[in-house]
């Protein structure tokens, strides 16, 4: 694509639609694999696309697929309804149209419409442009995932809460989980100490 063509791209020509059928998967896979460092199997695509068709948005420019967002909406172990962005990709030459923001916002809005409490995603720590985009949409970093991708890169997990109440609940839940882990660790250490003391007592008896 020439620089002149890119300069003359018309945002009004972009058409958005939800995923329709299996015929679109092959085109989608080819586009995504050319833009992402992380390969995905066709079963991953089918999992998202067939399970949550209403959360799968495709962008087209003059009939060409140029962007996609897919994900799911499930009950988290904390009992909150969580939207998850599995993939969001825009062809490099069309990024000046800000399709990433549009696709992400469409996904967020649909999750909210379906009653989600939050939306979560991961992105590479080195992907500054993506981090800025998600943070401008209200996402916050909640965790760093070391060596998360197959290429060895680390990732940030980001989360968008739809209410302050949910955010407070998330913090409280995380604190409770950390407290449980600490208590379990202390109990394990006590068990080990008790075992050592019993071994010492037994050795003294045998002497």
- The ranges assigned to domains in the chain are 3-162, 163-207
pTM for this model (two decimals) = 0.76
SS3 98: coil
Phi, psi (deg, nearest 5) at residue 121:
-160, 170
Q: Tokens at residue 135, please?
A: 């943070």
Report the C-alpha gap between 47 and 83 in whole angstroms: 15
CATH fold for the domain made of 3-162:
Aminopeptidase (3.40.630)
Q: How many CB atoms lie under 10 A from the CB of residue 145?
A: 13
E strand or H helix that includes residue 199: helix 164-206
Task: Indicate whether 188 pLDDT > 90.
Answer: no
* Residue 25: band (very low, low, confident or very high) from pLDDT cuts 50, 70, 90: very high
pLDDT tens, position by position, 30-45 = 998 888 767 788 999 9
């Amino acid at each position: 694509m020439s620089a002149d063509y890119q300069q003359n791209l018309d945002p009004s020509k972009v058409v958005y639609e939800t995923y329709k059928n299996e015929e679109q998967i092959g085109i989608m896979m080819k586009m995504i694999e050319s833009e992402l460092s992380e390969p995905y199997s066709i079963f991953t695509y089918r999992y998202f696309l067939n399970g949550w068709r209403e959360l799968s948005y495709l962008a087209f420019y003059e009939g060409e697929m140029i962007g996609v967002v897919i994900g799911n909406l499930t009950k988290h172990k904390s009992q909150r309804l969580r939207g998850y962005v599995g993939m969001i990709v825009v062809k490099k030459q069309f990024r000046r149209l800000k399709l990433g923001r549009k696709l992400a916002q469409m996904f967020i809005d649909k999750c909210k419409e379906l009653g989600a409490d939050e939306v979560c995603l991961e992105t590479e720590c080195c992907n500054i442009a993506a981090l800025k985009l998600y943070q401008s949409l209200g996402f916050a970093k909640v965790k760093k995932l070391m060596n998360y991708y197959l290429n060895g890169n680390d990732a940030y997990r980001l989360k968008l809460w739809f209410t302050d109440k949910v955010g407070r609940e998330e913090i409280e839940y995380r604190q409770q989980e950390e407290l449980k882990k600490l208590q379990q660790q202390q109990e394990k250490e006590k068990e080990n100490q008790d075992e050592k003391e019993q071994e010492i007592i037994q050795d003294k008896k045998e002497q």
